[in-house]
Amino acid sequence: MGKIESLTEEQEAKLPEYAAKWIAIGKDVSALNKEAIKIHMIGYLSGHKLNDYFWCGSPMSIMIVALLLNHDSFVDMPDGCTPKKPIDKVAMRNAIFDEDNNQKISWKELDALALEHYTIHQLNWYVEEDINKCNFGQQDAAWLSFYHVMKSLLGVKLDPRIDDMFALAEHSNWIKATGNIAFCSEKPVYITATDDLGRAHCETGPYILYPDGWSTYCWHGTQIPRYFIENKEQLTPGVALTLPNMEQRRAACEILGWDKILTELNARVINEDGDPEIGKLLEVDLPDLGTERFLQVQCGTGRTFALPVPPEMETALQAQSWTWGMDEVNFFKPEVRT
Amino acid sequence: MKTFKNVCAQGDVQFFKRDKLPAGLKQDPAINNVIVVTHSETGHNHVMEIDRKDDPAVEMFTGDNPLISWIKVNRPTSLDHQKSYDVHESIMFDEGVYEVRRQREYTPNGFRRAQD
């Protein structure tokens, strides 16, 4: 099949139907269709039938449960893979699940159980490493919609398991298959409305909440800590500007409002370039840290970020050049910035 | 799609067209048919597709400085941002050698790569 260079008018006219279908799948909060999941997992695994299914209350719970019940599978864990205290798998299973393999304890209780056996460092490492090994599911609706259009609308030949992946997205949430066992998350209890651009966003509570109480908070598509929303008194201008992740720093600055940050931190404009993509050099007084300089700059997507820069910076252009490891003589403003 | 001649930027990574690759670099392998020009801790990587393994459209090289890499574009290839919102628009690269610089920020101990 040759490269598809353009769509026909008829094909373009059908795209909104695909978008509506997959947005509905992505936002579905109905119960899992457990029988459909079992059938399509066999197809997805090319005929391999799993022995056991455990039904968990959230995606985070499937990760933690998979670790607690299959701890001997994870050999690369830092600090050694051995749990702090031995795990009796039968007792652990009975502590977490009822006789129908449904999770019976809350996320908080499961988290406490995990911390009895592993350090927070081990748990963080494991979740970050292993989360990408989960199957396709509802959470991948955006990617699967693309493949659905390719297959059904444009006739592109894909892996034969793609229909099982479409069905799993419709009927399941996150699934983690390990050995002969699958750990499946229930769908969320609710997903709040998105912002005007369709990004995950909620200003008053969690963006998404799962049945076992695990939730996550989002600000215009950026995942943020719970306290940004629930304990706003902890989110001070000083905290916002010193967050290590610049997307979260930007979100925190937006939540607080730049006016408040600049006023409360007694910000002085040291130098302002006429080009907002080169930015504005600010000096602020950070509580406990003293005087710091920041480059307030607009990126190619139009959002405003703040980057800490060395105290000896005197102009926005010098600071902008420094962030790229150059001096302003050798720095060239990009012809294209996106 | 946007194009450029000498200098372009996509989010926190900037590209400078150069005459040739410096000596002493090591080639970075492609993963799942793409080179990851800049890793993002939230998975929103900036990537280029190699197209064919035996005749890659683009190759990536690194030296000692973790903030600088090099790419050799053998056929026109786009730089894409793997994100479904607030996405940095793709940029088309012509054949050639490009120095890749990742943005950094100041810390009291020196500097670190700007993390997103």
CB contacts < 8 A, A to B, total 93
Q: Give me the pLDDT at residue B85, please.
A: 63
Question: Would the CB atoms of B115 and A245 count as touching at under 8 Å?
Answer: yes
Which of A288, A323, A330 is best to mutate for the B interface (most B CBs within 10 A)? A323
Of B11, B90, B103, the CB nearest to A324: B103
Is B108 contained in some domain?
no
Would you give the end-to-end CA distance of chain A in angstroms? 32
The domain tally of chain B equals: 1
Is B116 contained in some domain?
no
Is B87 contained in some domain?
yes
Interchain CB contact of B82 with A (< 8 Å)? no
Of B5, B7, B114, the CB nearest to A307: B114
Q: Which residues contact A139 (CB under 8 A, 6 or more apart)?
A: A26, A59, A173, A174
By C-alpha distance, which of B73, B100, B16, B89 is closest to A337? B89
Q: Give me the pLDDT at residue A76, please.
A: 61
Q: Give me the pLDDT at residue A301, please.
A: 78
Q: Which domain holds residue B74?
A: 7-103
Query: In chain A, which residues have pLDDT < 70?
Result: 71-81
For residue range B16-59, list pLDDT tens digits in order. 999 999 999 999 988 888 999 887 766 678 899 998 888 999 99
> Exposure pattern of A63-99 as b/e (b: 16+ CB <10 Å)?
bbbbbbbbbeebeebeeebebeeebeeeebeeebbee
Model pTM score: 0.70
Nearest CA in chain B to A326: B101
Q: Residue B6: is its pLDDT beyond 90?
A: yes
A-chain CB neighbours of B104 within 8 Å are 322-325
A-chain CB neighbours of B41 within 8 Å are 245
Is B99 contained in some domain?
yes
Of B5, B10, B41, the CB nearest to A338: B10
Return d(Cα A28, Cα A329) in angstroms, integer.
54
Question: Would the CB atoms of B9 and A326 count as touching at under 8 Å?
Answer: no
How far away is chain B from the Cα of A84, in angstroms, using its nearest Cα?
28
What are phi and psi for residue A142, nearest 5 degrees? -65, -45
Is B18 contained in some domain?
yes
The 3-state secondary structure of A218-279 reads EECCEEECCHHHHCHHHCCHHHHHCCCEHHHHHHHHHHHCHHHHHHHCCCEEEEECCCCCCC
Q: Give me the pLDDT at residue A81, please.
A: 62
Is B114 contained in some domain?
no
Is B113 contained in some domain?
no
Q: Residue B73: is its pLDDT beyond 60?
A: yes
A-chain CB neighbours of B115 within 8 Å are 244-246
For residue range B76-92, list pLDDT tens digits in order. 999 988 866 667 889 99
Residue count (chain B): 116
Nearest CA in chain B to A295: B105
Interchain CB contact of B107 with A (< 8 Å)? yes
B-chain CB neighbours of A325 within 8 Å are 65, 67-68, 101, 104
Is B89 contained in some domain?
yes
